Structure 1
Amino acid sequence: MSVLVVGLSHRSAPIDLLERVSLDVRAGQRFASRLHGGDHVHEVLVLSTCNRLEVVVEAGTFHGALEEIGAALGELGGLTREQLTDHLFVHYDDRAVAHLFELACGLDSMAVGESQVLGQLRDALALAQRNGHLGPSLNPLVQQALRVGKRAHAETAIDEVSRSLVELGLGQARGVLGDLAGARTVVVGAGAMSGLAVATLVREGVEDVVVVNRTPERARRLAAQHGARTAPWSDLSGAVGSADLVLTCTGAVGHVLDEAGLAQARSAAGRSGAPVVLLDLALPRDVAPEVARLRGVHLWGLAELQDATRPDDAEATEPAAVTAARGLVAGEVAGYLTERHAARLGPTLAALRTSAGRVVDAEMARLDQRLPHLPDDERSEVRHTVQRVVDKLLHTPTTRVKQLHAGYDEVPADYAHALRELFDLDSREVAALSTPPLGVVDPAPEARSEGHHDD
């Protein structure tokens, strides 16, 4: 069995397709449970964020698991196989390990180096653990990915490589509104991304920030943390109509702002035609795209911000911090794979030594029958001699197997199989000697996240 990662992300699929497979927490649980009950998927973790949906599984068979995941994704988004094929990415076994480590470090993010995905991955791990979807393969792997991500943010300057989505959006807003210090600003939603938005706005010197959320308690809690104000959900139109800058991320089903409603709100506030910037950070979208047709309205969604993150020069030199983070990941992947391969081989070598011990015991029992009056000191010397012979005979093949598997990434299981066949080892005994699953590690509080979607 091997690790398989199948998914869609901002790198492989357009935003409108990502919207069709977007999952809230409950839908994600149902989706994971369906896959976990498949014939070829034995462990599963689902990571759903504003710009990716990834399925990480322990696959009994590659093609069988891939077929089950593809069918589930197609049904989820109402997509045909052809529509999915061009946009799916697939990582298998060692490459899957590398991808998860890169993901945790922010190397695969829309804004390279952002740390929010680390919290999202941690939340996905905790949810999969609670639902019993993880076991001895994925549980330690994802925990190690989180440790690698935390190390990358602590030991490299990866955090400084790219601005967050909020900062990218504010850069676009300045191009329209100029200095944002006096901009009347509304943040719609009160979850993790909205919290980041409010914190960033205040840090950037924006003085007039209003938080609007369906749950007033959450809005008040967020506003109080940063000295912002709140407005009731019933006054959303009035707040948005009079605003210069609006940031939305509610995770709502359907649009929170549409063309007709915004036009009416702006007219009522006497701001028809006045410049306003809307930053829609939600998936699915909070703001109907038609809103951009209104005079004075400037709308940026995830797709537009994604375009803004692409370098103008495709041949641009990779930042030193990214290179450092990739080097860290490469070393961590190599170490993890070496340990995993050794763990796979260890039970077979232990079973081989156990089998050899039984041979020595059997021969000594036969010697006792033939020479029952052999003195104890002579019997002990015979036993030591026989044991040394056995140990020397086993030393070369076991050492050679370890050397061989260290030079390859794909085949250590083949060597273990060869040993079992050559020495007629009982596969049940090998399984019984396997390393027990690692215990669940409580996520470190400093990297815990509420996820992307608000409200």
Structure 2
Amino acid sequence: MSLLVLGLSHHGAPIELLEAAALDVAARGRLEAAAVASEHVVESVVVSTCNRTEVYAEGLTFHGALADVSEALASATGVPLAELQPHLYVHYEDRGIAHAFSVAAGLDSMAVGEAQILGQLRESLSRAQRRGHVGPALNTLLQQALRVGKRVHTETAIDDVSRSLVGAGLGVATGVVGPIESAHVLVIGAGGMGALAATTAHQAGAASVTVVNRGAARAERLAERVAGTARAWDERVAALADADIVISSTGATGVVVTEADVSYAAQSRGGRPQLYLDLALPHDVDLAVANLDGVTRVGLAELGELLSTAGDLPQVDEARDIVTGEVAAYLTERSSEAVAPTVAALRTRAKEVVDDEMARLERRTPGLADADRAEVQRAVHRIVEKLLHAPTVRVKEMAQAGQGGSYAKALSELFDLDPREVRVVSTPPVIPVSTPPVIPVTDEEEGR
């Protein structure tokens, strides 16, 4: 089985296509289910954010898995495969592992180094676990990726230079409406990104923060955390007129703030400038509002251009070095685990031979004293251990050097081993293989 990553992101796809391919929580689950229904795929996890939509799959065959996952992605997004293909990227095995670690570290994000991807990746994995779409392979990979992401933020200064989409947007906003300390901020949507927006605005010293959300309870909880005010969903148009900066990220499938809404707000404001920061995918704010006098709209495309130079910073190089080392360590460990069944089979076969010979000795020498019998058994075991020591150590060493596969195959043929037999693999291998626990995280659709 092999890892396959298929997707599209801000690196090679226009925002319009990313919007069309964006998936809500339910659609992500359906895409995973469609992928694992394929005879070529056994595990699947879908990660969909404002930067990317991608499928991680553990496949039995590369070409079969690639074809089936591609078709499933096109079906789930409603975008014809012919339109997706020019913008899709495919990462296989080693490159797929490196990609997963880079994503978790924030190195592949539009806002390089941003930490929000850790929560998004965790929620994606948790959802796939609960629905039975993920098994030991992707579970191990993505939990390791999460650990690597945490390590990058702990051991490097990437947080000092990382600018979230919200932070970058507020920087643009102050150039339009003036100091943040005098600005009234309206946040539409109380999901993950909405919470980040409200918190960032509050910490930046905004004059006030107002939260509007379809679910009033979530809006009130978020407003309370940022010493702000919650308003009802049907009051959002009126709330626009009071806001200097509007940040929207609801996860809705259609426009939430229309041109007519903004036009009404602009007239009520008497010409005072207003900025709309649209962090949603698909977009929440009608593109046409940018044509209104006194109104500035900033979307993901503009933020992407603003943040495009972050990848040249030395802190990012430090993070990349950590990811490179972690990928190498993961590959070495995985190579060692791959030969574990062969080692277990070899030791199981040796135990069978010893047991058979001791049973034969029992039949031929029924009067042998217990002490003498025990000594014979110890001697036989010592001989077997000495004979097995060299091939066991050697197969581990070659596995770490990436050459364990051929040596393990030779051992299997020489000793007539079948590592797939249940009675063999049930024997604890010398190299332990662990399955990480399920992450108890609930997923909630943003802004709902």
Whether the TM-score (by the shorter chain) exceeds 0.5 is yes
For structure 2, the residue ranges without an aligned partner over 5 or more in a row are: none
Whether 2:137 is the aligned partner of 1:144: answer no
Provide the C-alpha distance between the structure 2 equivalents of 1:5 and 1:294, rounded to a whole number of angstroms: 42
Provide the C-alpha distance between the structure 2 equivalents of 1:15 and 1:306, rounded to a whole number of angstroms: 10
Given that 1:10 and 1:110 are in contact with CA atoms closer than 8 Å, whether structure 2 keeps it comes out as yes
Provide the C-alpha distance between the structure 2 equivalents of 1:350 and 1:208, rounded to a whole number of angstroms: 65
Given that 1:43 and 1:57 are in contact with CA atoms closer than 8 Å, whether structure 2 keeps it comes out as yes
What SS does the aligned partner of 2:205 have? coil
In the alignment, which residue of structure 2 is the partner of 1:345? Answer: 339
Provide the C-alpha distance between the structure 2 equivalents of 1:406 and 1:329, rounded to a whole number of angstroms: 19
In the alignment, which residue of structure 1 is the partner of 2:390? Answer: 396
In the alignment, which residue of structure 2 is the partner of 1:308? Answer: 306
Residues 1-57 of structure 1 show CA distances to partners (whole Å, capped at 9, x for unaligned) of: 122221111123111111112111112112211212211111111111121112112
State the 1:436 CA deviation: 6.6
In the alignment, which residue of structure 2 is the partner of 1:290? Answer: 288
State the 1:274 CA deviation: 3.9
Provide the C-alpha distance between the structure 2 equivalents of 1:83 and 1:159, rounded to a whole number of angstroms: 37
Task: Summarize the alignment of residues 318-397 of structure 1 with structure 2, pairs less than 5 Å apart.
Answer: 318-366=312-360, 386-397=380-391
Inter-CA distance 372–227: structure 2 relative to 1 (3 Å threshold): closer
What SS does the aligned partner of 1:86 have? helix
Inter-CA distance 262–389: structure 2 relative to 1 (3 Å threshold): same
In the alignment, which residue of structure 2 is the partner of 1:114? Answer: 114
| Matched AA of 2:401 | G
Given that 1:49 and 1:452 are in contact with CA atoms closer than 8 Å, whether structure 2 keeps it comes out as no
Residues 184-225 of structure 1 show CA distances to partners (whole Å, capped at 9, x for unaligned) of: 322111122111111211222211322222222222221121
Inter-CA distance 10–372: structure 2 relative to 1 (3 Å threshold): same
State the 1:243 CA deviation: 2.9
Task: Summarize the alignment of residues 66-105 of structure 1 with structure 2, pairs less than 5 Å apart.
Answer: 66-105=66-105
State the 1:350 CA deviation: 1.7
In the alignment, which residue of structure 1 is the partner of 2:226? Answer: 226
In the alignment, which residue of structure 1 is the partner of 2:446? Answer: 453
Inter-CA distance 74–380: structure 2 relative to 1 (3 Å threshold): same
Inter-CA distance 390–180: structure 2 relative to 1 (3 Å threshold): closer
State the 1:126 CA deviation: 1.4
State the 1:368 CA deviation: 6.0
What SS does the aligned partner of 1:4 have? strand
Provide the C-alpha distance between the structure 2 equivalents of 1:109 and 1:124, rounded to a whole number of angstroms: 16
Provide the C-alpha distance between the structure 2 equivalents of 1:270 and 1:355, rounded to a whole number of angstroms: 83
State the 1:309 CA deviation: 0.7
In the alignment, which residue of structure 2 is the partner of 1:216? Answer: 216
Provide the C-alpha distance between the structure 2 equivalents of 1:278 and 1:257, rounded to a whole number of angstroms: 10
Task: Summarize the alignment of residues 158-237 of structure 1 with structure 2, pairs less than 5 Å apart.
Answer: 158-237=158-237
Inter-CA distance 379–311: structure 2 relative to 1 (3 Å threshold): same
Among 409, 415, 419, which residue is 2:407 paired with?
A: 415
State the 1:151 CA deviation: 2.1
Q: TM-score, normalised by structure 1?
A: 0.89
Given that 1:120 and 1:451 are in contact with CA atoms closer than 8 Å, whether structure 2 keeps it comes out as no
State the 1:70 CA deviation: 0.4
Provide the C-alpha distance between the structure 2 equivalents of 1:183 and 1:373, rounded to a whole number of angstroms: 97
Given that 1:356 and 1:390 are in contact with CA atoms closer than 8 Å, whether structure 2 keeps it comes out as yes
Inter-CA distance 365–235: structure 2 relative to 1 (3 Å threshold): closer
Provide the C-alpha distance between the structure 1 equivalents of 2:94 and 2:222, rounded to a whole number of angstroms: 42
Provide the C-alpha distance between the structure 2 equivalents of 1:442 and 1:260, rounded to a whole number of angstroms: 44
What SS does the aligned partner of 2:122 have? helix
| Matched AA of 2:275 | V
Q: TM-score, normalised by structure 2?
A: 0.90
For structure 1, the residue ranges without an aligned partner over 5 or more in a row are: none
| Matched AA of 1:151 | R
State the 1:352 CA deviation: 0.5
Whether 2:407 is the aligned partner of 1:424: answer no
Q: Does 431-440 or 170-179 show the bigger shift?
A: 431-440
Given that 2:47 and 2:124 are in contact with CA atoms closer than 8 Å, whether structure 1 keeps it comes out as yes
Residues 361-390 of structure 1 show CA distances to partners (whole Å, capped at 9, x for unaligned) of: 434555666666777777666655554544
Q: Does 369-378 or 191-200 show the bigger shift?
A: 369-378
Given that 1:190 and 1:219 are in contact with CA atoms closer than 8 Å, whether structure 2 keeps it comes out as yes
| Matched AA of 1:440 | P
Count of residues in correspondence between the two structures: 443
Provide the C-alpha distance between the structure 2 equivalents of 1:451 and 1:6, rounded to a whole number of angstroms: 24
| Matched AA of 1:421 | E
In the alignment, which residue of structure 1 is the partner of 2:56? Answer: 56
